Amino acid sequence: MSDSEPLALPDGPTARTLGPIEGTDRDPPDVDAPAITWVVRRSDAAAWLWRWWERFRDGRGTLSAKGIAFYSFFGVLSGLLLAFIVAGRLPQYEEVLVTIVEEALPGLFDPSTLDEDGLQTLGGRLGLLGAVVLLYSALGIVRAIDDGVRLVYGVQYQPRLFVVRTVRYLGFLLLLTPLVALSYVASSASAGLFQPMLDALGLPAWITDVVVTAAGVIGAVAVNTITVWVVLVRLGGITPHRWVWRGALIGGAALSAVQWGTTMLVSATLANPRWVSFGAPVAMLLLFYLMALTLLAAAAFVATANEHDPLLAARRQQEREPSRLAEHAERLAGSALHVSDRLRRG
């Protein structure tokens, strides 16, 4: 296949089931900017990155990330409510749950305000049906991530039956939730593990702090790498063959950076009582959106590495269709004349 031969985008749910409707084209032909074409044709690295961006863009990466953030916001609230109701009946787990929430969203609530009797009463009122509704809402997070990865991979939507699909999502929720929680408490866990040992050795305080901090960072990145690997390999309908661990490691490091940055932002935002009412939901949505962007960007990275020839795809030449360009210019000129005529009359 020559460089001048155009390549179609990978077949995906949008490309396969939704074609253009009949009507008059309002947009000009889709052609790459001359500057992009010039750079991409002279650098393999630039061509590869451009193809990664095309994969992420055409897979509706930003739109899917917004959807994941929306589902995550309500799913996490539903899951936390269900978790606190269960913790109210199992007090030994309540402290662990509070620690995880404080590490992820510091200052979001005061643990002393928890009413265990009220939680138990609420749990009794909700009953089994209410618990199922809360759990199904929490499953929306996994469902949204699965749909987003499938779009980036260019495969069909989840084809399984509803019951099988729901049970599968429940399994992933039970697998991913402890991993995400562990990534947030990695710093506390490393301090509890290494601090007594280093203090017993009589090392200077700054060395102890450096070792504990480094252990926390490495632990968080390792856990997040496993989390991203599970998403890339087990969700999305396809198990990629190449560069999976590279994408998982890059995604895990980026995910850790997002967690640390948003944790600092949330802590600073919620420190001011005037901002708590609207700062908390905005900060949570931002956290979920950036985490979703990171996951889908890692999926696009791995998907690009598993294309047959990403460099050739990036360097494809799109024909400029002179007739469509002329029609578009004529419509623009007509619109401009119409507007100027109305302004003169006005």
Q: What is the DSSP track for 241-298?
A: -SSHHHHHHHHHHHHHHHHHHHHHHHHHHHTSGGGHHHHHHHHHHHHHHHHHHHHHHH
Percent of the chain with pLDDT over 90: 20
**What's the angle, vertex CA 312, arms to CA 310 and CA 313, rounded to 5?**
60
Provide the pLDDT for residue 114: 58
Cα–Cα distances (Å) from 28 to 174, 234, 279, 331, in that order, read: 48, 39, 41, 11
Residue 103 has pLDDT above 70, yes or no: no
Q: Is the per-residue pLDDT at 97 higher than 80?
A: no
CA 143 to mean position of chain CA atoms: 12
10 or 19, which is more confident? 19
Q: Return the closest-CA partner of residue 47 out of 310, 324, 332, 331.
A: 310
Pick from 137-141, 263-267, 289-293: least confident: 263-267
CA-wise closest residue to 150 among 135, 163, 165: 165
Q: Which of 3-7, 19-23, 187-191, 317-321 tops mean pLDDT?
A: 19-23
Region 153-170: mean pLDDT is 85
Q: Which residues of 99-108 are buried (b: 16+ CB within 10 A; e: fewer)?
A: ebbbbbbebb
pLDDT > 80? residue 335: no
Does the pLDDT at position 96 exceed 80?
no
More confident residue, 154 or 296: 296
- Pairwise CA distance, residues 195 & 174, whole Å: 31
Average pLDDT over residues 213-221: 82
Residue 19's region, left for phi above 0, alpha for psi from -120 to 50, else beta, is beta
Name the nearest CA neighbour of 215 among 194, 198, 196: 194
Per-residue confidence (pLDDT) for residue 149, from 0 to 100: 92
Does this model's pTM top 0.75?
yes
Phi, psi of 309 (to 5 degrees): -150, 85
Residue 299: pLDDT band by 50, 70, 90 thresholds? very high
Q: Report the C-alpha gap between 74 and 305 in whole angstroms.
A: 34
The helix or strand, by DSSP H or E, that contains position 148, with its residue range, turns out to be helix 116-153
Q: Which of 247, 227, 230 is nearest to 186 (CA)?
A: 227
Looking at the predicted structure, is the pLDDT value of residue 2 above 50?
A: no
Q: Are 236 and 144 in contact (CB under 8 A)?
A: no
pLDDT bin (cut points 50, 70, 90) of residue 94 is low
